[in-house]
Structures are given as C-alpha cells and as structure tokens.
Structure 1
Amino acid sequence: MTPSHAPPTAAYRDRNVLRWATAYTASVSGDIVFFLTLSWAVTQVAGPAQVGAVLAVGAVPRALLMLAGGVVADRYGPRRVVIGSDFARCVIIACAAALTQFTAGGLPVLYAVALVFGVIDALFMPAVGALAGRLTDPGQLGRVQGLRVLAVRVSNAVGPMIAAIVLAAAGVAAGFGLAGLLFSLSFGLLLAVRLNRGQTAEPSTGSPLDDLRAGLRYLWSNRQLARLVVVVGLSELCFSGPVGVGLVLLTSERQWGPAVLGWALSVFSIGGALTGVLLTALPRVPRAGVVLIASLTATAVLVGALGQVTSAGALIVGAAALGTISGTAMAIANALLQRSTEPSYLGRVGSVTSLCTLGLSPLLYPLTGLVTAAWGTGVFFAGCALVCLLAALTAATARAIRRAEL
C-alpha cells in the first residue's frame, strides 16, 4: 500500500507560523514606536524643521542597500539574517535609550541612530519577507500573507497609540525603551522559528556581486514573476506612507480636525485587519488572479473617490472600505509572488519589491506636499489612483496572473 501523506497544517494552527506572525507584529509595532519616538525627539531638540532631514538620513541607506540585503538573505539564509539584524536593532535602540536618558542626546546622536537603523533595516526587510515564504507548505502562502496583513494593520492601529501614551507619560528614553522591548520580543520568538525542510535552498558558491547579477537575471528572464514584482511595487507604493500623509493633508484642507483623522486611520487599519482574518481562515482563494485584478481596480476607484469627499462621515466610510480592499490586494499579490519564486531567490526578489515600496516611498513625501500645495489633495489622490490602476492593468494583461490560483 502507498503510505498516505497528511495534509499540511493550516497556517493559523501552525505554531511555527504563529510564532513568526507574532514576531512580525512586534517588529512592525517596534518600527512604528521607534520612528514616532525619533521624530518626537528631533522636535524637542531642534524643532520640526529637522525631522525630515533626520528621517531621510535613515531612508537613503535603506534604499541604497536594499538589493544587497536581498543578496545577504539568500546567501546566508533568511532566518539567520533576520535574527542577526533583529538583535542589532535591539542593541542600537538600547543605546539610543541610554544616550537620551543619561546624556544630552543632541541632534548628532539622533542622526547617528537614524543612519545605523536604516542600514540594519536594509538587511532585515528582505530577509523577513523571504522567511515568510519558507515557513510552511507553499499551499499555505495565502494564509501566511493574510497573517502578514493582519500583523501590519494591527500594528498600525496599536503602535501610534502606545507610543503616544509612553512619550506623554515618560518621555523619549522610555519611547526608545518600548521600541527595544518590542524588538526583543520579536528576536526571542524568531529564535524558535524553523524553516520548512521542503523549501530549502542550495547555498551560493559565487561572489555577492555574482549573486546579485544572478538574481536580476532570474527576475528578468521570468516574465510572470517580473510582472508580479511590478504589480506588488505599484500597488504598495502609495500605501507604504503617502496615502497616510495624504489623509492628514485632506483632513487639514477640509478643516475636520484630528478626531476625524484618527477615526479614518483607525478604520483603515481595522478594515485591513478583518481582511487578514478572512484570508487566513480561507483554505484557498479561487480565481486568485481575478480577485487580485478586481481588488486593485476597486482600490483605484476608492483612492480617487477619497480625494473628492465633502463630509467627514464619507471619509471614514471610504477609509474603512479602502483598508479592506487594499489589504486583499496586498495579501494575494505577495502570496502569488512568493509562490512563483524559487526558494533560493526569495530574498533577492523580495528586496526588489521592498525597494519599490518601503525604500522609495519616503521619496514621495515631499512630492505629496508639493502636489497638495499646488493643486489640492484631490489631485494627489487621483495620482495615487492612477498608480493603482496601472498595477491592475499590469496584472490584467498577464495571462498567467489572470489564471493564477491560491
């Protein structure tokens, strides 16, 4: 008799996946607390005019080194790189907390912290993305990405709140301490995460530069994968920060006040979290490619409509719908991307998408302000809608993506 093989454990019941998801939630929350604390510290030391400069000092090396981070993740294994870079983040944040508590903690210190953190992030981001694709059976990737969306949106909802409470109650050093605590929690959980043996990759034998070239050749030669990278990059580009900034500017332009802004950002995160729960529970996503195209198209419509709303209630309802639909597109696109990528290239392919989103999106912040100042927030949101629509068209014109299943 042929031995029967048990079906893979559902991702939401897999302790290994759940440890990763909890670690990822703690890590994203730590990122949010860190950047809010850093921004607050800069305003206390040098005023708000220096905030953008300090954040740029961290964003530039992160963008420049992102592709190299993907090479390191594939060369030495994503688990090893994630654990090492997470530990390094714990150390740098502990130093930041100590310096701000026991010394003057002037502007040069904050510049140095931003710079080192940006370099470490360039290693961490591609590795943590590659790790997600190596945790369980490939058939569970849709659920894993559902957990990822849930983690991101929960962190976006909770992170700013706890950061504000700690900063108001105990100051900058405590804010850095809280970020360090969250990174330490992530580090401890990641130590217990194990890779799926069926998803192992052969170690590299070439130089790092050879690995980078091989990764780019692999992506260039695989048309479906290259299209998916474009889809992910375009669909997440505006949602890695610019849309949030746009909501701030929109509520200010309409004179609706911070309470409306808080509600809009909260329901956006809640909508995405609900999507994450749903995708995690579904055993499969039938016609995943069609669902992806439809959700990207709906996202484009909703983003464009948000820039035209004339009532606070419509903004809040639209933000909730946008969070739900955009979360669907994010999860499905990333799941299809990881399922289409050979394990040995996950870090390098992921570094390209991270560069397009987390690496380059900060560069759109000044553009957001300039466009809004010149033509109003409606034009800015229309531009974001066109980017999302381009992502939908890129997916719709690829037969392999249209027929994709999860």
Structure 2
Amino acid sequence: MPLPNGLAVLRERDFRRFFIGYGTSLLGSSMASVAVAFAILDTGGGGTELGGVLAARTLPLVLVLLAGGVVTDRLGSRRVMLAADTVRCLTQGALALVLLGARPGLWALVSLVALWGAAEALFNPALNALVPHLTRGAALSDANALLGMAASATSIAGPMLAGVLTAVSGPSCVLALDAAGYAVSVVVLLLLPRAAPLPARAASFTADLKGGWTAFRSRTWLWVTTAHIGLMNLFVWGPFLVLGPVVSQRRLGGASSWGLVMAVDGAGAVAGGIAMLLRRPRRPLFVAIAASLGWSLPSAALATGLPLAGVCGAAFLAGIGSAVCGTLYPAAVQRHVPREVLARVSAYSSFGAFVLGPVGLAAAGPVALLVGTSGVLGFGVLWQTSAVIAVLAHPAIRAVGPQRPLHGGPAEPPADEEAAGRTSRTARGRRRRRRRPPRRTPG
C-alpha cells in the first residue's frame, strides 16, 4: 500500500528496522524513569535523594559524551550503538534485581544509574551520525520527525504503563521490561548492514577532539543554541523533573497523576511531530528556538498552583514545542555540518546541552527548601522567556536556512520529490531540444 508522503521514508528497509528497534527501547526507557523516581520516593527518599540519583545518570552522560563522539567517528555509529545498548540492557536487568529488595541501597542505585548514563552518552552522538546514512535528501527532516514521534508516543504509553505496573508489580517488573527493550534494539542493530570500512586515522584522540571543537565553535549559531539549551536544562527542565514528582505526591495524586502529566506531554509531542511532517520552514532554526519557549509552561503551571487539568494542558503545549524543536534542530545540524565530523560536533552540542543538567537536578531540592518550590520553578519560567527573546534576536539564528549550508558542503537537493521531478523533467526537455534536428524551410 502506498504510504503518505510524510511516512515515505519508512519504505527504506534499514530505516524501518531501526525505527522499530529504537521505538521498542524508548518505550522501556520512558517506563524506567518513572519506576526509579517512585521507587526512591516510596522508600522514604525526598527531592534531595531523587535529584542525586537523577544527577548520577546525567553526570556520566556529560563526561563521556565527547569521547563518544570521537569513538563514533573512528569506529562507526553501528558498532558504538551496539555496545551502548548491550550495556544498557545489562544495567537495567541489574537495577531490576536491586529493586527487588524492600529498601534498595542508595549507592547501588547511583552506581547502576551512572553506568546507564555513560552508555547513553555513547549512544546519542552515534544516533545523530547514523540517521543520515539510513536516509538522505529531503527525507532527512521526515526521518527526524518520525524518530521524535516515536520518542513522544512512547513517552505517552511508557509513564502510564509504568504507573500501573509500579503500583501492581513493583518497579522491578518495569525495569525488567526495559532490559528486554534494549535487547530488541541490539538484535535490530545487528540486522543493519555494516558500513564501509573507515579510512585509517593518523590523528591522535586529542587531535580528533580538537578537530571537533574547531568545527563546533566556528558555527556561531551552533554554540549559541547549545548554550541556550544548556541553561534551560539548568534553570527549567532539571528543577521540573525533580520538583514535579514532589508536587504531584503532595497535592496532585501521586505517581498516577505524574504519569498522566508526562503522558500528556508525550501526546502533545506526537501532535507536534505529525504537524511537522513535510514542513520546510524558511528559517528552521528560528522556529526551533521559538518553540523552546514551550518547555517553561509546565513549570509555570506548577508554580502558580494550577490543578492537574491545568498542568496537563501546559504539558501538552510543551510537548508540541518539544516536537517542533526536536525535529528542526537535529536536521539543521545534520545538514550544515560535514559528515566526517558530525558525531564529534553532535557530542560537543550534547555536552553543552547537558553539562549543567546535573547541577540543576542536584540543586533543585536543596534550593527549594530555602526559597520554596514555586520560587525555583517561577525563576525558570522568567529565565526561559528572556533567553528565547535574546537568542532569537541574534542574526546568526535567523541566517540558517533549510537549503544552503553556511559553512561549505553541497547544497541540499530539492525540498520534495515533486520539485525533484520538475527539475528532472526540465533537464530532459532541454536535452530533447538540443537533439531535435533543425526545421526545413521551403525553397
């Protein structure tokens, strides 16, 4: 059966296989985050303990990211992703065993969650480098939109399933399912074709790091947006992830209500992802940064004491903004950065985005004890609003277009297949006119 234009990228067998495996692992991960959070809260922990465990996952993610970019450019994305998902499968299985106890040791949780984050740090730069090999041309944005929609759809089903399974069977069951999801991803990655052997690299590890840094800092739009996202994680998203479950437990109804909030956020992201299929904004980066304002809306709802319905409405709008930003921003990086340094540049971008996240996660609980939960969340809303306005005013952001790379490289192909067909027909018409014999005149 013919697929709608926005889903045509699923005709490509390798991308379709990867999409299925990636979605399966994402479902388990979205369940695991809820299970770990309420395992800590249900055993007597509070915002400080929860923030510490979440920071333990994010800190190794930050520290290993740059090495992950270099390793991916050297070994290839498929190999690195296989190793990362194997480690994550084993880690989640071990977490499931640890949480079988009545009161799990905090240091055991911290150690396993840290290993989980380190493996994720290897996976993320490799993912960004793999997508352009699975699809090409105008379908790149659609591929990113579909992967974002998979993350969004699993973020709907995952928290809801996690809330039910955690209440009925305990968090160990949820984490065992997460381990199974990573096992499926490993099998799918094994089915993908092996990439052509990479040329031997004479440069040292340090030289590769420097080369990636040079490519990153030479693009003003890239480091400005990276700083923007990093500060957003510090002041907005980190406190929201820590204080949101605390507020939910106090006045919104506990784990089931928080699962509903996260599920509605995912529903908004699915809606935003559908809206972005086949959309080609003239200024994609400008639109992506404007959409990042949505991340502050759930914090505003919690800070102002809105009921559960209001928090869910804010989360839905935040999900839409997340999908728009998550579709357009990776595609801009993939189009405007040469493939030979794409994994390293993506690693520097992710490093900048996440480096302050552990601070925000760890500090949210203690700071909330001093200034109040509403004070921490309200400051994040004010910060995000001011930052979006400032970044959008930067001329480098407005200059990034969908077609022409700013820093060299081939121009993008036509934006859609119809345009490509028009170009092809025009060229064939010109060749026929050149071959046509001259008309004979009488006389």
- Same-fold status (TM-score > 0.5): yes
Taking the TM superposition and a 5 Å limit, the aligned residue runs for 1:235-384 are: 241-248=238-245, 255-258=251-254, 261-279=258-276, 281-282=277-278, 284-297=280-293, 304=300, 307-308=303-304, 310=306, 312-373=308-369, 374-377=371-374, 380-384=377-381
SS of the residue corresponding to residue 384 of structure 2 reads: helix
Conserved in 2, the CA contact under 8 Å of 1:36 and 1:160? yes
Displacement after TM superposition at 1:194 (Å): 4.8
SS at match of 2:280: coil
Superposed, 1:44-59 pairs within 5 Å as 50-59=49-58
Q: Displacement, 1:275?
A: 0.8
Q: Is 1:130 aligned to 2:126, yes or no?
A: no
1:32 is aligned with what amino acid? S
- 2:223 maps to which residue? 226
Corresponding pairs, count: 396
Q: Which of these residues, 5, 9, 27, is aligned with residue 11 of structure 1?
A: 9
Residue 363 of structure 1 and its aligned partner are, at CA, apart by 2.2
- Superposed CA deviations along residues 72-100 of structure 1, whole A, max 9, x for unmatched, are 11121112101121122223333444566
Name the residue aligned to 2:207: 210
User: What's the CA shift for 1:352?
Assistant: 2.2
| Equivalent residue number for residue 174 of structure 1 | 173
Aligned pair in 2 of structure 1 residues 98, 58: CA closer, same or farther (>3 Å)?
same
Alpha-carbon distance, 1:226 to partner: 2.8
Bigger mean CA offset, 81-90 vs 115-124:
115-124
User: Measured at CA, do residues 202 and 232 of structure 1 come closer, stay the same or move farther in structure 2, by a change above 3 Å?
Assistant: farther
Question: Residue 263 and residue 52 in structure 1: after superposition, are their counterparts in 2 closer, same or farther (change >3 A)?
Answer: closer
Give the deviation of 1:371 after TM superposition: 4.6
* The 10-residue stretch of structure 1 (22-31 or 297-306) with the greater mean CA deviation from structure 2: 297-306
Instruction: Report the AA paired with residue 145 of structure 1.
Output: N
- How far, CA to CA, are the matches of 1:66 and 1:37 in structure 2? 25
Deviations 1:249-293 (A, max 9, x none): 55577x4444665543332221111111222x3153344244234
Aligned residue for 2:86, secondary structure, equals helix
1:180, distance to aligned residue in structure 2 (A): 0.9
Distance in 2 (alpha carbons) for counterparts of 1:307 and 1:77: 45
1:29 partner amino acid: L
After superposition, the Cα gap between the structure-2 partners of 1:98 and 1:294, relative to the gap in structure 1 and judged at 3 Å, is closer
Q: What is the distance in 2 between the residues matched to 1:238 and 1:324?
A: 20
Distance across 2 between alignment mates of 1:366 and 1:97 = 24
| TM-score when normalising by structure 2 | 0.75
Code of the residue aligned with 1:189 in structure 2: it is V
Partners of 2:321 and 2:110 in 1: how far apart?
Answer: 37
Contact 1:28-1:155 at 8 Å conserved across structures: yes
Distance 1:231 1:77, change over 3 A: farther
The structure 1 residue matched to 2:28, chosen from 2, 27, 30, is: 30
Query: Residue 136 of structure 1: CA displacement?
Result: 1.3
RMSD: 3.8
- TM-score (normalised: structure 1): 0.81
Q: State the identity as a percent.
A: 25
Who wins on radius of gyration, i.e. which is larger?
A: 2
Gaps of 5+ in 2: 404-443
Report the CA distance between 1:323 and its aligned residue: 1.8
Q: Which runs of 5+ in 1 are unaligned?
A: 1-6
Mapping of residues 90-109 of structure 1, within 5 Å: 90-97=89-96, 109=108
Counterpart amino acid of residue 360 in structure 1:
L
